[in-house]
Homo-oligomer: A and B are copies of this chain.
Amino acid sequence: MTSAAERVERLRRATAAAGLDACLVTSDESIAYITGFRPLQLERLFAVVIRAGDGGAVVVPRLDEGQLDGAPEALPPVTYEAASDGIPELVSTLDGARHVGVEEYHLVFGRAQALAQRGLELQPAGSVVMGLRTRKDEREIEAVRQACALVETALSRMFDELQPGAVERVVNAGVESWLREQGATDAHPLILFGPDAANPHAEPGPRELAAGDVVCADLSACLDGYWGDLTRCATVASPSDWARSAWEVVRDAQAAAIAACRPGTAGRDVDLAQRRIVEARDDLGDCLHGAGHAIGLAIHEPPFLVPRTDTPLEEGMIFTIEPGLYRAGVGGIRLEDDVVVRVGEPEILSSLPLDLIEIPT
C-alpha cells in the first residue's frame, strides 16, 4: 500500500495539475486514505488541507486530537476549541490559497458559503481526490478480499442456522454482532424475508420467516478500513417457480455484467449488460437499480454502474456487481460479488457459490 507520505505528495501533484491552489478533503474515507485517521464526524468540521506548492494540515476538533497519532508528518494537526466552528482555523491553514478544490458530494452548502464569504473560490474536485482512490493497489485489493472472506463466513453461518420462525430483526442483529466481534468496525446486514425483500432498502422488522418466503441476504462489513459486500438468496424449502426463474435470470445477468468488467468499458455498458437481461423478464419483476458501485474505503463510491456513467473502467478498480429482480408483494432476488478490473479476466474476490439455498422446514 502506498504510504501516507506518498499519498500526500500524489494529491499535492494532482492539486497542482488541476490548476488549484489547494485541495480540501472532508469525507471520512478520503481523510482515512490520506492520513490513516478515520474520523468520527458528527456536527464538527474535519478537514485535510493540501496546498499545491507545499504545506497542509489536518483540521480537527480538539476533542478528536487523540485520534491523530498516526497522521503523516506533512500534515500537522490544527485543532479548534468548542468556541469555534473550525472555519477560521481552516482558512488560516489555506494560507492565502484562493482556488480551492473540494469534495463536492461531501462538503455541505453551509460550510461552502462560509468559505466563499471569506473570499475562497471553491471548485468541485471530488474527481481529483477519487483519482487517487479509485484504482486500488494490491494491498488494498487484498484488504477487500479479507472483508469479503469475513462476509462469506457470516453468510454461511447465518444460512446454516436460519429456521422458519426466525425474526428478521433478530437475525440481522445477530449477524451484525458476530461481524463486529470478528473485528468489523462497521457492518450493514440487510437480510429480508418474503415480501420485505421486494423492497431492496426495507428496514428489518418483526416478520418471522415462513413457508414460501425467499430470503435476500445482503451483508457488508468493514475490516481494517476496507469493505466487502455480498448478497446471496435462499428459499424456505424448495423454491417456487418464480423464485427459481428469477434466480436464474439474475445469475445470468450477474455473469454478463462481470464479463463486461474490462478496462476501457464505460460504466453504463456494464450496467447495460445486466439490464438487458433483467428487463427482458419484466414478467418476473422490476429492475430497480444499476449493476453496482465501486467499493473500497467507502461501501458505495464512484464510479457508479448506472446508465448515466460514461467513465471508463480502469485496472485496479473494484466494483460490486449486483443485479436483482423485485416483485412487489412476493419478494426479491439479488446476487452480489465484488470484482476487480484486471487487464485480462476480471477477478472475483469471493468464492461462495451463487446457489439458491434451500432452508429445511
A residues neighboring B (CB under 8 Å):
38, 40, 42-43, 61-64, 66-67, 81-85, 102, 104-113, 122, 124, 126, 169-170, 172-174, 176-178, 180-181, 183, 185, 198-203, 271, 288-290, 293, 300, 302, 304, 306-308, 328
State the 3 A-B residue pairs at the shortest beta-carbon distance, nearest first. Answer: A177-B177, A104-B110, A66-B199
Task: List 20 other contacts, CB 8 Å, given A38-B203, A105-B111, A169-B183.
Answer: A40-B201, A43-B105, A43-B302, A61-B289, A62-B288, A64-B201, A66-B199, A66-B201, A66-B202, A67-B199, A81-B307, A82-B289, A84-B308, A109-B112, A169-B180, A172-B180, A173-B176, A173-B178, A174-B177, A176-B177
A190's nearest neighbour on chain B, judged by CB, is B40
Beta-carbon contact of A83 and B308 below 8 Å: yes
A329 to chain B, nearest CB (A): 10
Q: In the complex the two chains form, what is the Cα distance from A24 to B109 in whole Å?
A: 13
B residues less than 8 Å from A105 (CB atoms): 43, 108-111
A203's nearest neighbour on chain B, judged by CB, is B185
Beta-carbon contact of A63 and B288 below 8 Å: yes
Specify which of A66, A83, A198, A307 lies most central, judged by the most chain B CB atoms within 10 Å of its CB.
A66
